[in-house]
Structure 1
Amino acid sequence: ETRQAADSALSEFLREVRGSTVVEFGPMVPILVSQCHSKERLNRLTAITWLAELIHHPHSGGDALLPYHAEVLGAIVRCISDNEPEIRRVSEATDADLLILVRDTSGTFELSPLLDTLTAELVGKDDVPTKMAALRWVNMLLEKRKGDMREFIPDLLPVLLGTLSDEADRVVILTCQVLSRISLSDKRAVGSRGNGDGDSEGQQFQMV
């Protein structure tokens, strides 16, 4: 009964947050992130549901969440490997939404915290959904921030090469695509200093 009352109160608070014109992310994000690590199923589900709502908040969502993107991503990706199917489902959808938010933003954000989170997941997790999510993020960042990503390639390559030995074919195929994007990006950078062939990187990548 107490748990039901608490759940009802949280649901009501979430409705108020949805309708609020201003949301202060600073105090909320660390709490939600920590609850994604909770041993209690309801806590994890509530936290990941709230993170999904914050991403889509009509007034304070979107770019306002960028300063916390690495923390939020870490919590979401952790829940992708949750034992509870409902939490996994919500986490995968929330991960896709956050990726689109970052991909489409015109705002600035730091790459280093994101890449630290992603490489840790690739090295430290064995489950396929988590690795696939991390690889999709790396691939997106390589496309969105080509020039800025070059300084991180020396640290990324050993992790990606290690992922090529994964038992899951899907992981290996996506890793090959990421490595191909790195290779084509480097080739294009060299070509731009030479005579170039006029093909866009996107066109070249489609041929891989």
Structure 2
Amino acid sequence: MINIVIAHSQASDEVLQFTAIMWIKEFVQLSGRTMLPFASGILTAVLPCLAFDSDTKKNIKETARAVNFSMMKLITIEDDGDLSEGSEAVEPGDGTASSSQEQEIQRKQLDLPSVVDVLIKHLPHTSVQTKVAVLHWIYHLHIRVPNKMFRHVDELFPVLLRTLSDSSDEVVQQDLQVLAEIISSPAGNKLASSGDSSLQVPVPVKDILDSCGSGNNHAMNPYFSKFIVSLLRSFSSDRHHLLEDRGAFIIRQLCVLLNSEDIYRTLSEILLHEEDLKFASNMVETLNTILLTSSELFELRTKLKDLKTEESCLLFCCLYKSWAHNPVATVALCLLTQNYSHVCDLIRIFANLEVTVEFLTEIDKLVQLLESPIFTYLRLELLEVPHNQDLVQALYGLLMLLPQTEAFNTLRQRLDCVPSLHLHCCLDRGQKVGKPEKDCNIHSKHIDFTELLQHFVNVQDQHREHKQSSRSMALLEKSSVTLNT
């Protein structure tokens, strides 16, 4: 009977369709869990109806929404067990009773493979309401039946990644919530420990993460690393769309749903070995902007700002090594972490870098950030005469790099506010002035800034060679085209 009603629910006639959906609603309310084996058919009937916007189909849409909600309520945590587990609870005795019990359990079993197929089919739907409903279903199933759902995660994972390119913020946000649940679910660890090869992280990536500790993150299953790698590939292959239009939104939402330090550490470790140097630089610029401006990253900024613990110092070193792909982002990170002496060393190296419009634009943006509330503590440190020597020198270094633009005038006006005592006091005495001993952090003293500076130089040398190679290739291609014409 239910199958006949499901068939009529897809009719083009509105009255017939509404009547069929009403019948489905009554069946679900009266029969309860005995409707679970028909869940895929019911979802096929109601999911497209959620897209209706016209007033004439409003009743159909509302009824379909009620059916969808009722079906969700039927699924419980107990459904995550196998049929065999349910039959083990039956007391040994009459074989007929045991068989009857198994049949009763099977009569109320959710046919998960067919439901997953329906959800995958409807996720690329044009309607935002339908896509959000599908994502709610996937999330709900991962909460209620995580162990069973992980058997289908390889089917869902690529579709969920593609959905990140959706034009709707609501869809992307719900999609990220589903992905966050997948990559943090303990069910993934259970499946990985069983030897399922689909959950194994690619060997090169696993070696990278294990060497820095991220591969052993107990809070995440192996799909965490797999997701981060896949996300970076998506950004890289389609960076002019996904990274620029959605990159910041996606990363900010991930930092809300998951641990922001885990996200940044893992991204940094993978970017350190990125072969596409241009993409690595763009990605670091995006991550740096988010780190310095987003409220979602407040705790991470605070942790980095003071470097009070060994853990925070290790995080700084981890980020620094990939931040070296972008010179201005590296300076910003060191300003955030109050390593002003190292900023001076970096700016001296800038004299050997190619100064491009893009490079100057990034410095311009950094100057604007220095005037934001994020760097209030830095501006106040300008008053700490004479202990602000390195900071003042670093800011004057940035000033000398800038052409005489609005950013130049902004920074110069800020430096004009520095107490003039700084210009006379300690330098006349030939003293090396640093921060008071009580302000020096015992953990940050163990950071090898000489090694970090050499790493920065090496990475920038790679970028210079890459640019020269790209230009040579472009000239050869241009010459080839000219000869052919």
- What corresponds to 1:4 in structure 2? none
What is the aligned partner in structure 2 of residue 36 from structure 1?
Answer: 9
Q: Is 1:56 equivalent to 2:29 in the alignment? A: yes
Q: Higher relative CO (CA 8 A, sep ≥ 6), structure 1 or 2?
A: 1
Distance of aligned partners of 1:104 and 1:151 in 2 relative to their CA distance in 1, 3 Å threshold: closer
The structure 1 residue matched to 2:73, chosen from 100, 117, 137, is 100
Q: CA shift at 1:108, angstroms?
A: 2.8
Deviates more, 1:78-87 or 1:149-158: 78-87
Shift of 1:45: 0.6
CA distance in 2, matches of 1:168, 1:130: 12
- 2:117 corresponds in structure 1 to 116
* Cα distance, 1:121 vs structure 2: 0.2
Give the corresponding residue for 1:148.
Answer: 148
Amino acid at match of 1:115: V
Q: Could you state the TM-score of these two structures normalised by the residue count of structure 2?
A: 0.33
Aligned pairs for 1:124-139 within 5 A: 125-139=125-139
Deviation at 1:104, TM superposition (A): 6.4
Q: Pick one of 47, 65, 70 that aligns with 2:20.
A: 47
Instruction: Assess, with a 3 A threshold, how the Cα gap between structure 1 residues 31 and 146 changes in structure 2: closer, same or farther.
Output: same
Kept in 1: contact 2:9–2:16 (CA 8 A): yes
Residue 135 to residue 103, structure 1, CA distance change in 2 (3 Å): farther
- Work out the CA distance in 2 between the residues paired with 1:68 and 1:42: 23
Alpha carbons of structure 1 residues 43 and 186: separation in structure 2 relative to 1, 3 Å? same
The number of equivalent residue pairs is 168
- Does structure 2 retain, via aligned residues, the 8 Å contact 1:188–1:196? no
Query: Is 2:37–2:109's contact at 8 Å kept on the other side of the alignment?
Result: no
**Superimposed CA distance per residue, residues 26-56 of structure 1 (whole angstroms, 9 cap, x where no aligned partner):** xx11211111111111011111111111111
Deviations 1:118-147 (A, max 9, x none): 010002x11011001100110011111111
| Residue 154 (structure 1) shift | 1.1
Using a 3 Å threshold, how does the CA distance of structure 1 residues 85 and 154 change in structure 2: closer, same or farther? Answer: same
Asked whether 1:67 is paired with 2:68, we answer no
Identity percentage over the alignment? Answer: 27
Match of 1:202 in 2: none
Task: Determine which structure has more spread, i.e. the larger CA radius of gyration.
Answer: 2
- Given that 2:182 and 2:188 are in contact with CA atoms closer than 8 Å, whether structure 1 keeps it comes out as no
Q: Give the TM-score normalised by structure 1.
A: 0.73
Q: Label 1:133 to 1:195 Cα distance change in 2 as closer, same or farther (>3 A).
A: closer
**Counterpart for residue 79 of structure 1:** 49
For residues 9-38 of structure 1, give each alpha carbon's deviation from its aligned partner in whole angstroms, at most 9, with x where no partner exists: xxxxxxxxxxxxxxxxxxx11211111111
3-state SS of paired residue (2:141): helix
Gaps of 5+ in 1: 1-27, 198-205
* Aligned position for 1:163: 163
Is the Cα–Cα contact under 8 Å of residues 81 and 129 in structure 1 kept in the other structure? Answer: yes
Instruction: Determine helix, strand or coil for the equivalent of 1:56.
Output: helix
For 1:12, the equivalent position in structure 2 comes to none
User: Residue by residue, what CA displacement relative to the aligned partner does 1:144-184 show, whole Å, maximum 9, x if unpaired?
Assistant: 11112122111101111111111111110000000000000
Counterpart CA distance in 2 for 1:187 and 1:196 is: 13
The code of the aligned residue for 1:78 comes to P
| Partner residue in 1 for 2:189 | 189
**The residue matched to 1:179 in structure 2 has which SS?**
helix
Structure-1 residue corresponding to 2:268: none
2: CA distance, partners of 1:162 / 1:111:
22
CA distance in 2, matches of 1:81, 1:178: 21
> Could you say what secondary structure the match of 2:6 adopts?
helix
115 and 188 in structure 1: CA distance in 2 versus 1, 3 angstrom threshold? closer
Amino acid at match of 1:81: A
Instruction: Give, in whole Å, the separation in 1 of the partners of 2:187 and 2:2.
Output: 40
For structure 2, the 5+ residue unaligned runs are 80-107, 194-215, 220-255, 259-485
Equivalence for 1:91: 64
Distance 2:77 2:68 in 1: 14
For residues 182 and 157 of structure 1, what CA distance do their matches in structure 2 show?
Answer: 9
Change in Cα spacing, 1:188 to 1:155, as seen in structure 2 (3 Å) is closer
CA-based RMSD? 2.4
CA distance in 2, matches of 1:39, 1:56: 25
